[in-house]
Amino acid sequence: MKRLRESGLVEPLQERVGQGGPTLAICLGLQLLGRASEESPGTEGLGIIDSCATRFDGPVRVPQMGWNLVEPERGFEAALAGHAYFANSYRLVTRPAGWSAAWSTHGGRFVAAIQRGSVVACQFHPELSGAYGRDLLRSWLGLPVQEPTPC
């Protein structure tokens, strides 16, 4: 957030997402959309969504590093169900109002991604998620999703 403020990007990002301009946020990018995060107490996020990222709790490995199933709810159109690569210690546990979500599980259910029109934010890394990530990126870009290549 400090770098976004120093670069004068806070207001342009708030305006862009608020107007529904095509935006893709990845990993920390999803958390920055919220009003705060336990990762940086006292630091305000962009405040675009009414959320606070919280640390995974309980007897789970933190950071989570690996593949998890992503399951979209009705209305989440950026991707189908599939496995994506996560590398995170913090997560959102509720879907922000006005957004559709895809869900995953690591010590409990958490938000894997959110979507509102052409704004998509993923807790996982599509660029590290093989064909699943490729398809999400193609979908976000408005390109046709490629058919799987036979072995």
Indicate the pLDDT class of residue 150, thresholds 50, 70 and 90. Answer: low
pLDDT tens digits, one per residue of 63-103: 999 999 999 999 999 999 999 999 999 999 999 999 999 99
Q: Is residue 99 part of a domain?
A: yes
Q: Which of 15, 39, 125, 147 is catalytic?
A: 125
Q: Is the pLDDT of residue 148 over 80?
A: no
Give the whole-angstrom CA distance, residue 14 versus residue 20. Answer: 10
pLDDT tens digits, one per residue of 91-134: 999 999 999 999 999 999 999 999 999 999 999 999 999 999 99
Q: Is residue 151 part of a domain?
A: no
Give the whole-angstrom CA distance, residue 16 versus residue 119. Answer: 9
Three-class DSSP category at 116: strand
Q: Is residue 29 part of a domain?
A: yes
Q: Is residue 24 part of a domain?
A: yes
Q: What is the CATH number of the domain that holds 26?
A: 3.40.50.880
CA dihedral over 48, 54, 55, 59, signed as positive or negative? negative
The answer to whether residue 127 is catalytic is: yes
Domain that holds residue 18: 2-141
Q: What is the pLDDT of residue 151?
A: 53
Q: Is residue 146 part of a domain?
A: no
Read off the DSSP letter of residue 118. T
Number of domains within the chain: 1
The answer to whether residue 125 is catalytic is: yes
Q: Which of 6, 27, 39, 77 is catalytic?
A: 27
Indicate the pLDDT class of residue 144, thresholds 50, 70 and 90. Answer: confident
Read off the DSSP letter of residue 57. -
Q: Is residue 89 part of a domain?
A: yes
The answer to whether residue 151 is catalytic is: no
